[in-house]
Chains A and B, each alone.
Chain A
Amino acid sequence: RKEVEQDPGPFNVPEGATVAFNCTYSNSASQSFFWYRQDCRKEPKLLMSVYSSGNEDGRFTAQLNRASQYISLLIRDSKLSDSATYLCVVNGPDSSYKLIFGSGTRLLVRP
């Protein structure tokens, strides 16, 4: 089983649409969870950390379900500039600081 699993997409949506991405992780000892965004041939950039209580940052909402080992990201009112690959990321188990990346979900927002 992959450590972090995501649907590769692509998700092709019109501007203004709401889109949701899901992710599962295999190691129940993971402590920290993130969504990163990666544009083509660029570095990953932190979009948001994900907390057990769920958190929202503008048009973006992230949820974590530890029991199911499931993370989600919801993007409302999609913009053309949201087109990118969204990476689900967890830290290594126990005291490890390394990040474990999913393969990413590609989002294309069309006019």
Chain B
Amino acid sequence: EPEVTQTPSHQVTQMGQEVILRCVPISNHLYFYWYRQILGQKVEFLVSFYNNEISEKSEIFDDQFSVERPDGSNFTLKIRSTKLEDSAMYFCASTPGTKIPDTQYFGPGTRLTVL
């Protein structure tokens, strides 16, 4: 069964450094998402992406965040200058975009630790 993959599984970085989290969505899916989950808290929406542009973003997704689909398979989340409070699990998700409701398939996540 096709699945969303994410790399790395765990990223440790120093405060102020840039990180790029990578995702490979399911191949025929059209909508892509990033969510985050701070330890012990709920899953929160960050951004959705369709047709090579951001379709929606949350208040969390400020200027330090950006997303990109650099090629036909990868979908990346960049955090420009990490803060301690960016430490969280980051989940990528994708959907076919063919019907409503549309199941969002989640990747296994990247655990980001900012020191």
Q: Do A and B bind each other?
A: yes
Residues of A near any B CB (own CB < 8 A): 31-34, 38, 41-46, 49, 87, 91-92, 96-104
Q: B107 near A43 (CB under 8 angstroms)?
A: yes
Q: Given A31-B100, A103-B42 in contact, is the A98-B108 Cβ separation under 8 Å? A: no
The digit string for B36-78, where 1 denotes a CB below 8 A from any CB of A, is 0000011111001000000110100000000000000000000
Chain B interface, >50% SS class: strand
Contact of B101 among A42, A44, A49, A96 (CB under 8 A): A49
Chain A interface, >50% SS class: loop
Interface size class of B (residues with CB under 8 A): 20 to 34
Can you name the residue of chain B whose Cβ is closest to the Cβ of A101? B43
- Kindly state the separation between the CA atoms of A103 and B103 in the bound complex, as whole angstroms: 19
CB neighbors of A among B62-115 (8 A) = 89, 91, 95, 100-109, 111
Q: How many A-B residue pairs have CB under 8 A?
A: 57
Least CB distance from B36 to A in Å reads: 11
Sample (17) of A-B pairs whose CB atoms are under 8 Å apart? A32-B100, A33-B101, A41-B111, A43-B107, A43-B108, A44-B106, A46-B103, A46-B104, A97-B48, A97-B55, A97-B95, A97-B102, A99-B43, A100-B45, A101-B42, A101-B43, A103-B41
Q: Given A43-B109, A97-B55, A98-B48 in contact, is the A87-B43 Cβ separation under 8 Å? A: yes
Q: Given A31-B100, A32-B100, A43-B108 in contact, is the A102-B42 Cβ separation under 8 Å? A: yes
B contact residues around A38 at 8 Å (CB): 43
Least CB distance from A55 to B in Å reads: 12
Least CB distance from B71 to A in Å reads: 23
B contact residues around A92 at 8 Å (CB): 45, 56
